[in-house]
């Protein structure tokens, strides 16, 4: 059995028995109960040799990762992932602290605390599994930068992580989890084995997961600046001050809905990235440009293939909506943004016609609980199949910094106020 299939099987088993990161929501009659809500998270993918941590560090090394929370709470806990692992992941010890700032390995003096797993300072996570730490008392707030440090201690095998971190991670030999800083560490812009940070929050705190491709993952965003479009959305929610709402970025660069790309297809990771996360009330599905583009680039865009892809994209969306509704999660569809100017995909008019057909369906399909028309936000009014110049990063496909800000500014926050399927207290 392949590593990828083994990982999916483990995830399916966890979901079936309600284990892993899932937790039973508080009773509707217990309106004062606190519950666990994902405050930061990312999508997991199998690492190739280029992304993997060097074998010597994997056997005896420290990794410190700095992430920014999007929702506050009184306690935090960490989910560590070995979802695509080929061997047991051994974490000898781990810690959590307030980070001084992104782009620095230094932590706030006196804030370092050890992480425990069922009372133990070490944990062994089987291949395909994900484990959650014990809660740690930490007064968290939206915008707080957190450093999670792990000491790894097993032989190198298939590793799990997220390649498009746009954030500096620190790698150092030896056991340094309680170090105030790692001045001699090697730096990379990837995340290793870190899936979620959850906070304990009072109702009606909840999370929205944005699941998509490189536009959500933040292609072109500034390293350590937290200026992806989802980061702008977090800032809007905080400034508005009316909602206790986390935003979880579940984008994967190069990701597709129907097939594997640089990572697993969205349809296969929807369970872990959306349904199994704690406190999720809404999912924004923003995907499809790479499905259409790769069909073109591989020269497989025959009329029959285009017709089949349109039907397959619709079916996949409807399947995700049905699965989400069964879990009490509302789904907001997002239209595919223009890419006629992309030199990488070099789309033809029939590819643009497919994009328009998908977008027309998303706008009109009543199964969605809402629609964000991101196509209308970014397109050039004079040439609707192209990104507006101000919104174009220069490659005709990915938004500029202004384009990312425009996406967040266009989100109607009131669409997160209700969910007909919600099982979270205080949200109907």
Question: What pLDDT is stored for residue 5 in this prediction?
Answer: 41
Mean pLDDT of 322-340: 98
Question: What pLDDT is stored for residue 428 in this prediction?
Answer: 67
Question: What pLDDT is stored for residue 425 in this prediction?
Answer: 75
| Banded model confidence at residue 155, pLDDT cuts 50, 70, 90 | confident
Quote the CA–CA distance of 300 and 214 in Å, as a whole number. Answer: 22
Residue 18: which region, alpha, beta or left (left: phi > 0; alpha: psi -120 to 50)? left
| Banded model confidence at residue 291, pLDDT cuts 50, 70, 90 | very high
State the average pLDDT for the chain. 92
Residue 168 has pLDDT above 80, yes or no: yes
- A 10 A CB-CB count for 13 gives 13
- Tell me: the pLDDT tens digits for 100-142? 999 999 999 999 999 999 999 999 999 999 999 999 999 999 9
Q: Which of 46-55, 63-72, 118-127, 165-174 has the lowest mean pLDDT?
A: 46-55
Record the tokens describing residue 413, joined without a space.
Answer: 């926050």
Identify the bridge partners of residue 308 per DSSP, sorted by sequence position.
Answer: none
Quote the CA–CA distance of 118 and 248 in Å, as a whole number. Answer: 26
- Tell me: the pLDDT tens digits for 346-386? 999 999 999 999 999 999 999 999 999 999 999 999 999 99
The whole-angstrom distance between residue 346's C-alpha and the CA centroid of its chain comes to 28
Residue 317 has pLDDT above 90, yes or no: yes
Identify the bridge partners of residue 145 per DSSP, sorted by sequence position.
Answer: 68
Question: What pLDDT is stored for residue 32 in this prediction?
Answer: 54
- Tell me: the pLDDT tens digits for 231-279? 999 999 999 999 999 999 999 999 999 999 889 999 999 999 999 999 9
- A 10 A CB-CB count for 18 gives 10
Task: Tell me the CA distances in angstroms from 1 to 7, 49, 86, 130, one per residue in order.
Answer: 10, 20, 11, 19
Mean pLDDT of 33-50: 95
Question: What pLDDT is stored for residue 90 in this prediction?
Answer: 96
Comparison of pLDDT for 98 and 27, the residue scoring more: 98
Would you say how long the chain is, in residues?
428
């Amino acid at each position: 059995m392949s590593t990828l299939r083994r990982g999916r099987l483990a995830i399916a088993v966890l979901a079936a028995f309600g284990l892993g990161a899932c937790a039973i929501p508080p009773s509707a009659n217990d309106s004062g109960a606190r519950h666990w809500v994902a405050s930061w998270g990312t999508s997991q993918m199998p690492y190739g040799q280029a992304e993997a941590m060097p074998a010597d560090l994997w056997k005896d090394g420290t990794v410190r990762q700095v992430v920014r929370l999007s929702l506050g709470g009184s306690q935090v806990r960490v989910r560590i992932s070995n979802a695509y692992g080929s061997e047991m992941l051994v974490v000898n010890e781990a810690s959590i602290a307030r980070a001084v700032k992104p782009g620095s390995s230094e932590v706030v003096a006196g804030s370092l605390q050890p992480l425990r797993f069922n009372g133990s300072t070490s944990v062994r996570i089987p291949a395909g599994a994900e484990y959650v730490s014990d809660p740690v008392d930490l007064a968290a707030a939206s915008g707080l930068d957190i450093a999670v440090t792990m000491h790894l201690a097993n032989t190198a095998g298939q590793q799990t992580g997220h390649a498009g971190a746009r954030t500096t991670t620190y790698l150092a030999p030896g056991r340094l989890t309680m170090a105030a800083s790692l001045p001699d560490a090697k730096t990379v812009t990837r995340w290793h084995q870190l899936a979620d940070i959850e906070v304990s929050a009072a109702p009606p705190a909840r999370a929205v997961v944005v699941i998509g491709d490189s536009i959500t993952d933040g292609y072109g965003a500034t390293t350590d600046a937290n200026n992806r479009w989802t980061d702008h959305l977090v800032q809007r929610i905080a400034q508005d001050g009316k909602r206790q709402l986390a935003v979880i970025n579940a984008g994967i660069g190069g990701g597709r809905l129907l097939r594997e790309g640089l990572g697993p297809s969205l349809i296969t990771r929807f369970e872990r990235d959306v349904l199994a996360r704690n406190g999720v009330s809404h999912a924004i599905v923003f995907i499809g440009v790479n499905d259409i583009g790769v069909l073109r680039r591989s020269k497989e865009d025959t009329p029959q293939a285009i017709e089949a892809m349109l039907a397959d994209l619709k079916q996949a969306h409807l399947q995700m909506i049905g699965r989400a509704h069964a879990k009490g999660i509302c789904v907001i569809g997002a239209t595919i943004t223009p890419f006629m100017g992309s030199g990488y995909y070099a789309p033809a008019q029939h590819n643009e016609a497919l994009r328009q057909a998908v977008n027309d369906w998303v706008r009109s399909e009543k199964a969605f609980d809402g629609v964000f028309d991101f196509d209308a936000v970014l397109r050039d009014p004079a040439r609707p199949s192209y990104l507006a110049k101000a919104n174009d990063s220069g490659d005709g496909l990915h938004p500029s910094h202004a384009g990312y800000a425009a996406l967040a500014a266009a989100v109607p926050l009131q669409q997160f106020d209700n969910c007909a399927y919600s099982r979270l207290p205080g949200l109907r």
